[in-house]
Each structure stands twice: as C-alpha cells, then as structure tokens.
Amino acid sequence: MHPAPFEYLAATTVAEACAELARDPEGTSVLAGGQSLIPRLVRRLERPRCLVDITKIAELYELGCTADTLSVSAGVTQRTIELYPPTSGFGVLAQALPGVGKVTTRNRGTVCGSLANADPGAELGVCLQVLGGEVIAISTHGLRRIAAHDFFRAPRCSALEADELLHTVRFNRPPAGTTGYFEKVTVRGAGDTPVLSAAVMARIAGDRATEVRIGVGGEGQSPVLAPAAITEALAGSLDDAAIDQAGRLLAAQLEFTGDSRACADHRRRLVTGVVGRLLRRLRADVP
Amino acid sequence: MSRTDKVSIAMRVNGRPIRADVPARMTLADFLRERLGLTGTHIGCGEGLCGTCNVLLESRSARACLTLAAQADGTDIITIEGLSLPGQPSPVQDCLVRHHALQCGFCTPGFVVLIAELLAEVDAGKRPTAEQICEHLNSSVCRCTGYAPIIAAAQELVADRIVAKANRDNATPRTEAAR
C-alpha cells in the first residue's frame, strides 16, 4: 500500500512552515511523526497535495516544566515526555502515556500531533481536558492561544484553522494534594486505539474530595469535561449513590456514535462503569 | 528549499553512508527493500499495526512503513541485517531459536529489533520488569507462536545482560580504586 503522490517540503523554520501552510491551506498537511497521518494516506483516506515536514525545525523541540505547567512543542515525541522525569508530577498524563500506541509508535509520534489529529477516544485529549491547559497555534497571522476546553470542536476536528500549525501545548500542573486516575477501554489490548478514554482528578482536603474533574472521550464525543452540575454533587465523601448518579447523568449527556468496535449505547454503559470505578479509586485515597 | 516530488536524501544504513533520490511518497520500508536490497525488513500490514518492518532509527525502534524515506534524511538506521554478522545468528537470534520462538519467521526481524532496543535500554541502566518486557514486545504481533516463547527468550536475554553489566561494573571501578 502506498500513498497517492504528493509534494514534500522539510521546513527548517517555523516561519517557512507557516508560509507553506498559508500558500495552500486546504491541500497541505503538517507531517511530524506521521503515525496517524501515514496510515490515512496509505488507505487513501486523505490525498494532500503537499506534506510539510516540521521535524527538522529546531525550535519545535522545546520541552520544559515550570511550577505551573508542562510545555511540549510540536516536535517532541510521546516517548520523550514519557521518559522525561518531571512528567511524573502530571498525574493522569504520566499514567496514560505508557499506553499510548506502542513503544515503536511513541518513538516517532508526537504529543502535539496526537492532539491535532483530534481522535475523540485518544488518551492525550482526555488528559488535556482533565489537567486543563492551553494550545498555542501559529500561522502567518501570528500566535493564537486556545484554551484546552475550546480546542476540540468535534471528532477529528480541532479549533486549529487550516493554515495554523500547532506550535506548543501546555498542560497545567495539578495542585498539591490532588490525585487522579486514568483508564481506557480497548478491544485488542494495549496499544489499540481506545473505544473510550476516561480520567478523574480531585483534591483531597481532610476527609473530603473537592474540585472533582471528570474527562471522557470516545467515538462521536470529543474529549470533554463533565459539567459542574455533575461534579459539584460529588464533593464530599464520594458515596456509592453519588458516584452512580454522576455516572448515569454524565453518560446521558454524551453524544457517542457507534462504529465497528462498539455501539453508542455500549459506550454510554462503559462510561457509567469506568467513571464509577475511577471515582471509587479516588475515594480510596480519602483518609 | 521548495516543494518537490523527488527528494535527495543522505543517511547511514547499517553504518554505510547512502545517498539517493527518492519519490516523496516512498516509505523507508520500500526504500530499504527495493533500493538497498535489505529485504530482512518485512512488510506485513503496511499501515503500522503489525511491527514486522521495525528498524532502529537513531537507536530507537520505528515503523519503517510509517516513516517516509525523505524523513529519514540525515539519520542513522540499523536494520535486521545490521544486527548480526553475515551468515551468523546474533546472540538475540540464537536465543530466539533455542526457545523455539519462531515458526514461519515473518515477524522475527521486528522482534529482534525490539529486543535490541530493550537491551540497549538495559545497558543505559534501565531494569525492566517482566511486565515492562511484555509491554515493550506488544509493539509487534506474531501469528504462530503465541508469544510465550518470545517473551521467555527476551526475559533470558535481559537477565543475562543485567548480569553481564553488573560484572563489568564491579570489575572496572575496583581496579581503578586499587591503583
């Protein structure tokens, strides 16, 4: 299997990559690791006229950690941040990374590429929602900051314009005293594209859990945070009745669709089960 | 540089410098097999699922079918041919044979590359658990052996490597101190 013919350009600066994107926004695709793009090209699901390779741009290899954020630029691979010691301070992200694809695809696939691909069930999108943060896009018009909760518009559609390059993503550091858990459901075990990804996070204050956040994503439903009305009711001791109620209310609000792996209704039942299990794990951390 | 459908590339493959002009859409797997005759890199699914085309790109395993030859410009590539001497099985291949870890052998180059990456991580100081060894190997699929012998071979190789490294580490500093 081979991709349809395309032209190729290895940009050496961000400005050059942006200029190429501006020339033919609809017909140009950004190539970083290519671990999601190339499979679509070989199946001829996409036929871009040109691929702009951004992996030769030195500026896009920045990876840094401050007291508040983990900042990952577009060339940084999933394997690099998985092995980056400060990542361990970003709870659900550190838990999700070793299961993103396989080690061989994480060696090439980038964090920003996974987000820009906007697969609704992908692990990193759910982590971005739960941790919060922002995405920095760049084009010939300049920089644009997009808040995490505004980034995913629809399955496989992000807030990036056709001429914009995802430059950097920033994940917010969970405040002290916060714990979180990540879990996903796959059909063919580790490394498979998830049917559903879910994560929960809460601050444990005394014998209470506060500031509960729940993020889920799966086919049809882009990564999304559970609305405050659902999570506020969970503050406190996280008893079984509250957990079950939250799972049911959340599942009813999600717009899953069916695909070859699971129907929409199955995904809704998975949400109730998986989110319930994650919240019970959180409860075990409350003294 | 401007947009082209033909790309000039230069790289090292198994230590040998290579220069070539390739179509932009040519994958690294096709380049290695068709241009360089390195047919040990197998193509199974051609879309990144099976892992038979694994090669080491800058010492890290990569799917050659999901990497464009153009993207490999300026890199160092090691294929299955570069992991043993001509006509002689490498210690990794020997161990796989002893464990009966292959039947048709189609997936074996991908696994040998994965185990080579794992052993390099051991040399760098990592101590993978049995579970981590399995997670590493789940990057490739095998349709004959059922994985158990492959995992057993990898565990033996990792254990041997850890012992060998410990012996080396114990030997050198002491003689230094003695001087």
What domains can be seen in chain B, in order of their start residue? 8-83 (3.10.20.30), 84-179 (1.10.150.120)
- Residue A104, chain B, CB below 8 Å: the answer is yes
pLDDT at A47 > cutoff 60: yes
Question: Where do the H-state alpha helices sit in chain B?
Answer: 28-30, 91-98, 108-123, 130-137, 148-178
A97-125 pLDDT per residue, tens: 999 999 999 999 999 999 999 999 999 99
A2 and B25: CB-CB below 8 Å?
Answer: yes
Q: What is the end-to-end Cα distance of chain B in Å, rounded?
A: 57
pLDDT at A134 > cutoff 90: yes
A118, A219 in Cβ contact below 8 A? no
pLDDT at B160: 96
B125-140 pLDDT per residue, tens: 999 999 999 999 999 9
Average pLDDT of chain A is 95
Confidence of residue A55 (pLDDT cuts 50, 70, 90): very high
Nearest CA in chain B to A28: B3
pLDDT at A75 > cutoff 60: yes
**A28 has which bridge partners?**
A50
Hey, how many other C-beta atoms are within 10 angstroms of the C-beta on A108? 26
pLDDT at B177: 52
Q: What is the pTM of this model?
A: 0.94
pLDDT at B179: 47
- Rounded Cα distance between B154 and A78, Å, is 24
pLDDT at A192: 84
Residues making up chain B, counted from first to last: 179
B111-123: average pLDDT: 97
Enumerate the residues of chain A whose CB falls inside 8 A of the CB of residue B25.
Answer: 2-6, 8, 41
B66 and A1: CB-CB below 8 Å?
Answer: no
A5 and B25: CB-CB below 8 Å?
Answer: yes
pLDDT at B178 > cutoff 70: no
pLDDT at B176 > cutoff 80: no
- Rounded Cα distance between B94 and B90, Å, is 6
A195-242 pLDDT per residue, tens: 999 999 999 988 889 999 999 999 999 999 999 999 999 988 789 999
Task: Please report, rounded to a whole number, the percentage of residues in chain B having pLDDT higher than 70.
Answer: 95
**A70 has which bridge partners?**
A65, A171
Enumerate the residues of chain A whose CB falls inside 8 A of the CB of residue B30.
Answer: 2
Dihedral sign, Cα of residue A83, residue A126, residue A209, residue A271? negative
